[in-house]
């Protein structure tokens, strides 16, 4: 189990280095490093593209699970063309991320430093380690086994993506800050979507699942004679392993259209009534009603917070989309972008 959790957590963290961007040359990048693109005079280095594309580690993973695909990717023209196209697509993303950071600084005075991003990465790693009870040594060993270097190298490689992510978060907040929702808009939405705030009638039901009608009738007879309670019978005889330790409680069932006939009977029954034996797709079952709730509807006051959040989110999404399709698009078209590969 620990290995599975470790693997899942690694996947979540490694995912953050699949899209990276930096406005400055990494400390480890030598001055003679190849420049693969220039965005308004700002270089994107081959080392950054290599980290973002992550082709080496991806190919090694493919080699382990599908050697034939690995060979085709490296030896065939179609394979190498695909890898080149993928590399170029990643570079296009890098260009967009640099542009995003540039316009954030130019128009909104937003700039996330590498130090701030590194602190965020360390915070994320620490939370992940604590959440899955993994030591730094275990995480570092896994990273090295997958070709990502030690934990410090991983954190530094992740800075570029986190820096961009933090920038976009602040930029989006600035762009959408004008979004507001009035009380009248909330009221209109409530009236137009009144059905979504309704809760149907509900019943709380216990059941006993059995293999035959005969065994169901036998246990029902015991229950009616008070030789055993319904709950004790569920714990002792029910074949449903998920509910037998909860006295057969299957929780609250909402009323709906096209219910099977036995559910209709359950909704019409009184609390403590027993329905069955009933033949279902799971076997023969006995049911007992232990609770009922009437249909209800949230008031405008109760639904107001939820509606405000929904409408605000929609308005913010539209403002962001409009900004991307106008302001950012124009900024990109007026930018000097050079691709060197």
Domain locations in the chain as residue ranges: 2-175, 183-194+298-312, 201-294
Per-residue pLDDT of the chain (341 residues; tens, 9 = 90+): 343 333 333 333 333 333 333 333 334 444 337 999 999 999 999 888 888 888 887 888 899 899 999 999 999 999 999 999 999 999 999 999 999 999 999 999 999 999 999 999 999 999 989 998 989 888 888 888 876 778 888 888 888 889 999 999 999 999 999 999 999 999 999 999 999 999 999 999 999 999 999 999 999 999 999 999 999 999 999 999 999 999 999 999 999 999 999 999 999 999 999 999 999 999 999 999 999 999 999 999 999 999 999 999 999 999 999 999 999 999 999 999 999 98
In this structure, what DSSP letter does residue 35 have? E
| Contacts of 94 by beta carbon, 8 Å cutoff, 6+ apart | 20, 21, 37, 44, 48, 49, 52
User: How far apart are the C-alpha atoms of 339 and 323, rounded to whole Å?
Assistant: 25
Distance of CA 339 to the CA centre of its chain: 34
Nearest to 156 by CA among 185, 197, 208, 117: 117
pLDDT value for 155: 87
User: How far apart are the C-alpha atoms of 202 and 267, rounded to whole Å?
Assistant: 8
Element (H, E) at 341: none
In this structure, what DSSP letter does residue 72 have? H
Distance of CA 154 to the CA centre of its chain: 23
pLDDT value for 13: 37
CATH class of 201-294: alpha beta
pLDDT value for 277: 97
pLDDT value for 2: 41
User: How far apart are the C-alpha atoms of 78 and 251, rounded to whole Å?
Assistant: 56
Q: Torsion angle of alpha carbons 242, 244, 247, 248, nearest 10°? A: 70
pTM across the whole model: 0.70
Encoded tokens for 143: 């990273």
User: How far apart are the C-alpha atoms of 117 and 212, rounded to whole Å?
Assistant: 63
Contact 190, 284 (CB under 8 A): no
pLDDT value for 50: 86
User: How far apart are the C-alpha atoms of 74 and 229, rounded to whole Å?
Assistant: 69
User: How far apart are the C-alpha atoms of 189 and 87, rounded to whole Å?
Assistant: 46
User: How far apart are the C-alpha atoms of 88 and 82, rounded to whole Å?
Assistant: 10
């Amino acid at each position: 189990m620990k290995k599975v959790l470790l693997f899942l957590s690694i996947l979540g963290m490694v995912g953050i280095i699949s899209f990276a961007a930096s406005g400055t040359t990494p400390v480890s990048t030598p001055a003679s490093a190849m420049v693969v693109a220039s965005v308004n005079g700002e270089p994107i280095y081959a080392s950054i593209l290599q980290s973002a594309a992550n082709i080496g580690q991806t190919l090694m993973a493919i080699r382990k699970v599908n050697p034939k695909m690995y060979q085709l990717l490296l030896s065939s023209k179609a394979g190498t063309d695909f890898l080149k196209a993928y590399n170029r697509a990643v570079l296009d993303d890098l260009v967009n991320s640099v542009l995003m950071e540039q316009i954030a600084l130019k128009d909104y005075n937003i700039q996330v430093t590498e130090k701030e991003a590194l602190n965020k990465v360390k915070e994320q790693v620490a939370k992940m380690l604590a959440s899955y009870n993994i030591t730094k040594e275990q995480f570092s060993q896994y990273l090295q086994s997958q070709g990502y270097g030690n934990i410090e190298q991983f954190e530094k490689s992740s800075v570029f993506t986190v820096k961009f992510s933090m920038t976009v978060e602040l930029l989006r907040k600035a762009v959408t800050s004008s979004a507001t929702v009035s009380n009248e808009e909330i009221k209109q939405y409530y009236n137009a979507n009144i059905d979504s705030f309704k809760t149907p009638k509900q019943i709380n039901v216990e059941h006993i699942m059995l293999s035959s009608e005969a065994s169901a009738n036998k246990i029902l007879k015991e229950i009616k004679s008070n030789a055993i309670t319904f709950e004790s019978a569920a714990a002792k005889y029910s074949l449903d392993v998920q509910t037998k330790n909860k006295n057969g409680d299957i929780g609250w069932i909402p009323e709906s259209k096209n219910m099977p006939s036995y559910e209709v009977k359950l909704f019409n029954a009184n609390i403590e009534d027993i329905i069955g034996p009933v033949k279902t797709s799971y076997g023969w079952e006995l049911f007992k009603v232990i609770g009922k709730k009437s249909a209800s509807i949230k008031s405008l006051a109760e639904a107001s917070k939820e509606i405000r959040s929904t409408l605000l989110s929609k308005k913010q999404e539209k403002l962001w989309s409009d900004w991307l399709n106008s302001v950012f698009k124009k900024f990109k078209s007026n930018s000097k972008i050079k691709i060197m590969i």
